[in-house]
Chains A and B, each alone.
Chain A
């Protein structure tokens, strides 16, 4: 699978800060760590010194001991926008979850989180970490998935030609949408919606009720009349919801 990542960088130039957006296109087979193409990004990252808080220090080579254990950490941080403290924290969590100590998480590892056991959409959340056909999650993918939930930072530069950052409104929504859309056909069908409703309502309601709600929901959101909710329709129906707020977690605050 080919993934596109981008990262804006604050570039210091001649003493005054200038926003200089950068676009990296990295070809990474999903789920594989320690990619070869990383060199290019590191090259850019080294060339343009970061001004974003701690990352500068990392690139200059004075890393934390935990950080140094993670391969390609600068690149990861640049991709996801996490600060070193975040990455360290996540790495610790990752290792705590990784019962088999293989540097990868299996579904079992996720399922053993006991707080998650009561979550009605547990399977979907766990499933989101696993790309199709993959059985294991490495740290990089783990962090990349979680990066969707990083709060949007307004002071990062934005430009039209740039690939969207992973925590933008659209990609947050896309992430949520894919949790509904289990067959990946780009639409939430009536059945998919029914499944979600059933899991969320935990068998407290009759099928009739569920169906009427699902029908109602689709009827409300469906603009092109295909009896399913496409991503655009999904986005439209959530227009008034502050997604930046709703889909952000305050990591390490």
Chain B
């Protein structure tokens, strides 16, 4: 509905022909490669046009016999020779056109990434606006009125996904550590910008000869409050591409999120006052109260829904499939509930996402978590794309009244007030900060103050009867948006490089960091207590304790509520690495990824069976065989995995994850011990006796887990000489000089690698068959391998290079 209204709500229905032709043309132009994608568009273009121009109502009547609309037009019945098939475009018009716009947006996004050179220079947001301009131009050329970005649609449907994505994945720690600075910029900075701009603009408007004498002070202030807020959508779009360091990112982005409350209040106040025409001291005081109510109310509403969502997720363990839905629905409800009272919906969404996340994540399954992540990312990026495209289209569509003085002054004042505001506020803030903001930081914060679609939508919402200068305002707003997005957005990346501003370090958090950070937190809390200084750490510690003692118990189901953060982190890390490895298919880290089909060799480090089965084979030939097998295995393994991933049922390790992880650790220990006592490993060839059997059973029980988890323990080694060493082992397992490994884990790793390579050999034919059958076969395979064991003598000899 949303986009349908967006596309058509403000525009007449007859424009559809040109719209679709425009779409078709553009898509064909930009995406010749994607022929499949163009087909539906082409198909839609002509019947849509026909149905529209020759009269949709006629088609509707014809189709009425076979349609739902039958009952509505009982009188117009004419007999049709072939009643089932008929033409009825009106029936699907709205959703169809929504899909078309979304498709166009997605295709555009896709298209830009096919041209890497373009996207490395120009930010995506700029390109999308240009596309929007082109589409709008085309529609206009054909002689129709292009649609305008409808504020209702924007605020209700396009904005929430982006904000939820931002709120749910908000980096809490840097955010809370810099909250003071962010609030300062967001509240004081925005207030300063609004009043500075509003005041000075009014001054300019009073100059004679500018034709602006009709603009009164309140209108100027209103305009100032609309234009002064930094826009989260624009900031996200640009800052995500320049990979700036965490501090600057959170400063600018946090500001853009939190200034919403200020903007909402100022906007509504000035709109109200402009209607009435007079402002008293009491109004100013009420304004301050309003601000507090709007901001805190938004946060409270959000937190309420967040807790509700967390509480709900406590009970979803039996219906995992709908878990993600709760997150989305509760957040959306929070946003809408806040909007009902004109509270800050953005603050509500942020609070909701941030509050629910830690608890929801502890409750839901890993797959649901992935679903949430992908859905949010997908929605937000589609919304973002649509917003920028429609910004372009609306520019062409709108009624503009261009006033040189007003536009120029606005742009200059925007820049000046931003710079003055940032420099002035930083001066104050730096007195309180431990890590001071440098001049470079200030520059980036000031320069990153991009304006965007929120300003446009707010301007669009203005009532023309109260503000006869609305068109001029809109023109100025659009110009400022274009200026910031194009000029600042395009130059910020070179400037960041030029100034050598610290970039974001693309690394995962290590367990070391996690432990030490927690340790330091405790340490600093202790030191604060010794100094008798109740600072930041003290209160944080109190909050943590409260959270652990009461909140977690209520909101998190079962054992996990007692799980310390460190353990949770440890699991998450293990899981993440395992999944990354599985998804990468082990292509790069082949030697370490190969043991993923760990069988009983895991606990029984031995030679690859290929060596045993064909002992006379030459080294070169062996290598060749390995290569072939490896290539084939990769595929079968992937097939297997995708089979697993799409079935929700085949998930034995999801809930018992905890135990299995440590079972794995145990196994590793056993393995270590075993590698020490080599005698134990030598299973007599003639006796597939009970210890072997039981071991095989043990191995198969942990098979699924092992398959995913095992390799990462080895691949996680940061040492660069790790991989080559193992590779040498693979190629020639007998060469002793290849073993220059120092610690136990690595030893275990090298022992496993050739083994599992061997283990894979046996599995090729069965890899893509039914799971259960496969397990059976594997069991047999193992037994067979045990039977074909060459015996103690050979084993010892072969194991030699790997012994300590």
Which residues of chain A have a CB within 8 Å of any CB of chain B?
Answer: 90, 93, 96-97, 110, 113, 115-116, 118-122, 124-125, 146, 149, 151, 154, 176, 179-180, 193, 196-197, 200-202, 204-206, 208-209, 211-213, 215-217, 219-223, 225, 227, 229, 234, 237-238, 240-242, 244-253
- Distance between Cα atoms of A121 and B515 in the complex (Å): 13
Residue in A closest to B514 when the chains form the complex, CB atoms? A217
Besides A246-B524, A249-B527, 4 other A-B contacts (C-beta < 8 A): A93-B530, A125-B523, A220-B718, A245-B434
Shortest distance between the CB of A104 and any CB in chain B (Å): 15
- Determine if B527 and A222 form an interchain contact, defined as CB atoms under 8 angstroms apart: no
B513 at the interface (CB under 8 A from A): yes
Which candidate, B208-216, B236-244, B470-478, B561-569, is the interface stretch facing chain A?
A: B561-569
- Determine if A115 and B564 form an interchain contact, defined as CB atoms under 8 angstroms apart: no
- Distance between Cα atoms of A97 and B742 in the complex (Å): 50
Interface centre among A90, A209, A237, A248 (most CB of B within 10 A): A209
Contacts of B432 in A (CB 8 A): 250, 253
Contacts of A201 in B (CB 8 A): 564, 566-567
Contacts of A217 in B (CB 8 A): 511-512, 515
- Determine if B570 and A96 form an interchain contact, defined as CB atoms under 8 angstroms apart: no
- Determine if A121 and B564 form an interchain contact, defined as CB atoms under 8 angstroms apart: no
Q: Which residue of B538, B665, B719 contacts A223 across the interface (Cβ within 8 Å)? A: B719
Shortest distance between the CB of A191 and any CB in chain B (Å): 15
Q: Which residue of A118, A197, A216, A250 contacts B434 across the interface (Cβ within 8 Å)? A: A250
Contacts of A241 in B (CB 8 A): 513, 516-517
- Distance between Cα atoms of A217 and B517 in the complex (Å): 13
Binding site secondary structure of chain A: helix
- Determine if B512 and A237 form an interchain contact, defined as CB atoms under 8 angstroms apart: yes
- Determine if A200 and B522 form an interchain contact, defined as CB atoms under 8 angstroms apart: yes
Residue in B closest to A223 when the chains form the complex, CB atoms? B719
B604 at the interface (CB under 8 A from A): no
Q: Which residue of B510, B532, B564 contacts A205 across the interface (Cβ within 8 Å)? A: B564
- Determine if B530 and A116 form an interchain contact, defined as CB atoms under 8 angstroms apart: yes
- Determine if A90 and B564 form an interchain contact, defined as CB atoms under 8 angstroms apart: no
Q: Which B residues, 500 to 559, have Cβ-Cβ distances below 8 Å to chain A?
A: 505, 507, 510-513, 515-520, 522-533, 535-538, 545
- Distance between Cα atoms of A238 and B520 in the complex (Å): 11
Q: Which residue of A122, A125, A225 contacts B743 across the interface (Cβ within 8 Å)? A: A225
- Determine if B524 and A110 form an interchain contact, defined as CB atoms under 8 angstroms apart: no
- Distance between Cα atoms of A29 and B264 in the complex (Å): 64
- Determine if B512 and A125 form an interchain contact, defined as CB atoms under 8 angstroms apart: no
Contacts of B745 in A (CB 8 A): 215, 219
B662 at the interface (CB under 8 A from A): yes
Contacts of B436 in A (CB 8 A): 154
- Determine if B512 and A119 form an interchain contact, defined as CB atoms under 8 angstroms apart: no
Contacts of A176 in B (CB 8 A): 516, 519-520, 523
- Distance between Cα atoms of A212 and B717 in the complex (Å): 15
Total A-B contacts with CB atoms under 8 angstroms apart: 148
* Interface range for B: 35 or more
- Determine if B531 and A90 form an interchain contact, defined as CB atoms under 8 angstroms apart: yes
- Distance between Cα atoms of A247 and B531 in the complex (Å): 14
Residue in A closest to B574 when the chains form the complex, CB atoms? A216
Which residues of chain B have a CB within 8 Å of any CB of chain A?
Answer: 177, 432, 434-436, 505, 507, 510-513, 515-520, 522-533, 535-538, 545, 562-564, 566-567, 570, 661-662, 665-666, 716-719, 742-743, 745
Shortest distance between the CB of A113 and any CB in chain B (Å): 6
- Determine if A247 and B524 form an interchain contact, defined as CB atoms under 8 angstroms apart: yes
Interface centre among A124, A154, A222 (most CB of B within 10 A): A222
Shortest distance between the CB of A128 and any CB in chain B (Å): 9
Shortest distance between the CB of A57 and any CB in chain B (Å): 21
18 interchain pairs, CB-CB under 8 A: A90-B531, A93-B532, A113-B530, A119-B522, A121-B519, A121-B522, A154-B436, A196-B515, A201-B564, A201-B567, A204-B563, A209-B567, A212-B665, A215-B745, A219-B745, A237-B516, A240-B505, A247-B520
Interface centre among B507, B562, B662 (most CB of A within 10 A): B662
Residue in A closest to B246 when the chains form the complex, CB atoms? A242
Q: A200-B519, A246-B517 are in contact. Are A116 and B512 (CB under 8 A)?
A: no
Q: Which residue of B434, B529, B570, B743 contacts A115 across the interface (Cβ within 8 Å)? A: B529
Q: A204-B562, A249-B537, A251-B533 are in contact. Are A196 and B742 (CB under 8 A)?
A: no
- Distance between Cα atoms of A93 and B272 in the complex (Å): 54
Contacts of B536 in A (CB 8 A): 250
Contacts of A220 in B (CB 8 A): 510-512, 716, 718
Q: Which residue of B524, B537, B538, B567 contacts A213 across the interface (Cβ within 8 Å)? A: B567
Shortest distance between the CB of B243 and any CB in chain A (Å): 15
- Determine if A208 and B507 form an interchain contact, defined as CB atoms under 8 angstroms apart: no
- Determine if B515 and A208 form an interchain contact, defined as CB atoms under 8 angstroms apart: no
- Determine if B535 and A249 form an interchain contact, defined as CB atoms under 8 angstroms apart: yes
Residue in B closest to A252 when the chains form the complex, CB atoms? B533
